[in-house]
Chains A and B, each alone.
Chain A
């Protein structure tokens, strides 16, 4: 998929979930053996047009995620190209052991996408939020974990995942509209992060919706004379350790920002990559606290956990100036 300004704007308007469904619709003619599986979530995944246009490539298994993952793996075991999606908590944790055994242990390849991850559905309560999926999926061998920064990157991630050699979990964050990070084409390569901004003082590593917020934060930091690099870490596993190493060697502070629990996600993955490095700078971690207490409006939850651009900027600045 080639991204241009018009495409980026259009996808941004519809949000990451609809961008997912639209991408599969666009790619369907290219994959004879594509099977799209949902658990009564076709509308939620922007797949209604796909369902109506390609019924022979579509399977709905109802509200039964363990069975959905088993069926997806069964289809994959027959050599089909399988894309499964439902809301992130049900996509990752309801069928966690099916993911382990079918995709991790047996290595059947399924692209499975967690819709509305993070706290975008905060008004529905934490049954429908997902702040644990990166941590849980990262621990299972033979699963690649992606976390696109915007809707254009969602489209690129879906296509790359379909062509990837092993199962891929795609974590979709943000609402609709979902502010675009990219307005022109770029190379998306699984496992290779993208440096969006160069700065010698601080290395901000962000993923998902927090990439856009971090770019805004870097602007604010620049106004205060602090030059921050911003890395779009769209692949959480395998983590781009080379880039972490480069940041550790060239900046005085590393900051990680994610719409996910502070335990086990991007921050942890970066810390694991940084741990063996000598003379690495300190790392501050920004994300959702270890709690289910703050539900409600999306923006309110992000603000509660210090994940607005202003808060990210202020926290980085305070830490940088303390060093």
Chain B
């Protein structure tokens, strides 16, 4: 088996385990409910980043040379916390405190560098600006780490995203990578119904970004695209076409799962579906 194949397999297995953790967390959250759909759409992206692409030291979470990560679409935290667990920042017991009083794992990330949570988020449209600042700091200091930012397509309604989209190429930030989780849904409907982002790749390209459009659930494409370093002064925008609620028959591409309670019977169906991948065992 080639190294590349092994890497892809490792990412895929990690993503499957993360989906199992997400089911456990969503069930445990009970009536608090959770942002199930938008968490599942980013799982393969965060598994790729935290499993293989990002240069990190979980036992030294504030290591200066680490790649930085910002979940700008903070409601996708199920796909973030479970990646941090798999990477070794957060224990399984801690995962199960999700959304409980006095937990550090709220329904939107709260900065906690010791646990690998670099920034707080939840109010949309702020992560790209933070990432731009982080990337400028690295450039000015001559450091070669990168900053990865995941944004949503609903989030891309926010004008502040496009302020940052203009600034990053201007400051030649080829150490900045923005991944657009293009699941084509937002809170109360599809992008097409609510606010169509249109050809997001063309928009980033027009601002001066290098753009790659890929299947956001294809670990191989994610790994190849995200692990390639650039040095041409252009930031990278990855349009990752995803499926909201990815992984379970009842939730895939069904926007009612934007924020919804997972019932015990749905949990059991989901576990059954995951068992076909071996992840639920």
Query: Is B167 in contact with A98, judged by CB distance below 8 angstroms?
Result: no
Q: Which residues of A contact B111 (CB under 8 A)?
A: 106
A59 at the interface (CB under 8 A from B): yes
B241 at the interface (CB under 8 A from A): no
Q: Which residues of A contact B79 (CB under 8 A)?
A: none
Query: Is A67 in contact with B160, judged by CB distance below 8 angstroms?
Result: yes
Query: Is A74 in contact with B160, judged by CB distance below 8 angstroms?
Result: no
A69 at the interface (CB under 8 A from B): yes
From B118, B122, B130, B135, contact of A102 by CB (8 A): B130
A26 at the interface (CB under 8 A from B): no
Query: Is A70 in contact with B171, judged by CB distance below 8 angstroms?
Result: no
A147 at the interface (CB under 8 A from B): no
A314 at the interface (CB under 8 A from B): no
Closest to A107 in B: B111
Closest to B134 in A: A74
Interface residues of A in 45-62 (CB under 8 A from B): 56, 59, 61-62
Q: Which residues of A contact B160 (CB under 8 A)?
A: 64, 66-67, 70, 98
**Chain A 240-259 against B: per-residue CB contact (8 Å), 1 yes, 0 no?**
00000000000000000000
A206 at the interface (CB under 8 A from B): no
Closest to A98 in B: B126
CA distance A67 to B136 in the complex (A): 13
B133 at the interface (CB under 8 A from A): yes
B129 at the interface (CB under 8 A from A): yes
Query: Is A77 in contact with B119, judged by CB distance below 8 angstroms?
Result: yes
B132 at the interface (CB under 8 A from A): yes
With A75-B133, A77-B133, A78-B134 known to touch, is A70 a contact of B164 (CB < 8 Å)? yes
Q: Which residues of A contact B277 (CB under 8 A)?
A: none
With A61-B167, A64-B163, A106-B111 known to touch, is A70 a contact of B120 (CB < 8 Å)? no
From B120, B129, B135, contact of A67 by CB (8 A): B129
Query: Is B166 in contact with A74, judged by CB distance below 8 angstroms?
Result: no
CA distance A64 to B162 in the complex (A): 10
Closest to B131 in A: A74
Q: Which residues of A contact B122 (CB under 8 A)?
A: 101
Instruction: Kindly name the residue among B130, B137, B164 whose own CB sees the greatest number of chain A CB atoms within 10 A.
Output: B130
For chain B, the count of residues having a C-beta within 8 Å of the partner chain is: 30
CA distance A245 to B125 in the complex (A): 44
CA distance A61 to B160 in the complex (A): 12
The minimal Cβ–Cβ distance linking B134 to chain A, given in whole angstroms, is 4
A35 at the interface (CB under 8 A from B): yes
Interface residues of B in 128-165 (CB under 8 A from A): 128-138, 140-141, 159-160, 163-164
A73 at the interface (CB under 8 A from B): yes
Query: Is B137 in contact with A75, judged by CB distance below 8 angstroms?
Result: yes
Q: Which residues of A contact B159 (CB under 8 A)?
A: 66
Closest to B121 in A: A101
Query: Is B129 in contact with A69, judged by CB distance below 8 angstroms?
Result: yes
Closest to A61 in B: B167
Instruction: Kindly name the residue among A35, A56, A62, A71 whose own CB sees the greatest number of chain B CB atoms within 10 A.
Output: A71
Indicate the size class of the contact surface on chain A. Answer: 20 to 34
Query: Is A73 in contact with B130, judged by CB distance below 8 angstroms?
Result: yes
Query: Is A70 in contact with B130, judged by CB distance below 8 angstroms?
Result: yes
Q: Which residues of A contact B164 (CB under 8 A)?
A: 67, 70-71
Query: Is B140 in contact with A35, judged by CB distance below 8 angstroms?
Result: yes
- Identify whether the interface residues of A are mostly helix, strand, loop, or mixed: helix
From B123, B128, B136, B167, contact of A62 by CB (8 A): B167
CA distance A106 to B138 in the complex (A): 20
Query: Is B136 in contact with A71, judged by CB distance below 8 angstroms?
Result: yes
Closest to A37 in B: B133
Q: Which residues of B contact A73 (CB under 8 A)?
A: 129-130, 133
Closest to A101 in B: B123
Closest to A110 in B: B133
A72 at the interface (CB under 8 A from B): yes
CA distance A101 to B120 in the complex (A): 8
**Chain A 14-29 against B: per-residue CB contact (8 Å), 1 yes, 0 no?**
0000000000000000
Closest to B119 in A: A106
From A66, A78, A106, contact of B137 by CB (8 A): A78
Query: Is B126 in contact with A102, judged by CB distance below 8 angstroms?
Result: yes
Q: Which residues of B contact A105 (CB under 8 A)?
A: 120
Query: Is A74 in contact with B140, judged by CB distance below 8 angstroms?
Result: no
The minimal Cβ–Cβ distance linking A69 to chain B, given in whole angstroms, is 7
Closest 10 pairs (CB-CB, A-B): A74-B133, A70-B129, A67-B163, A78-B137, A64-B163, A71-B133, A66-B160, A74-B130, A75-B133, A74-B134
Residues on A lying within 8 angstroms of B by beta carbon are 35, 56, 59, 61-62, 64, 66-67, 69-78, 80, 97-98, 101-102, 105-106
In the complex, besides A70-B129, A78-B134, 20 extra interface pairs with C-beta distance below 8 angstroms are: A35-B137, A59-B136, A64-B160, A64-B163, A66-B163, A67-B160, A67-B167, A70-B126, A70-B132, A70-B133, A71-B136, A71-B167, A74-B133, A74-B136, A75-B136, A77-B134, A80-B137, A101-B121, A106-B111, A106-B119
- 12 sampled A-B residue pairs with Cβ under 8 A: A67-B164, A67-B167, A70-B128, A70-B160, A71-B136, A71-B167, A75-B133, A77-B118, A77-B119, A78-B137, A80-B137, A101-B121
Residues on B lying within 8 angstroms of A by beta carbon are 111, 118-123, 125-126, 128-138, 140-141, 159-160, 163-164, 166-167, 170-171
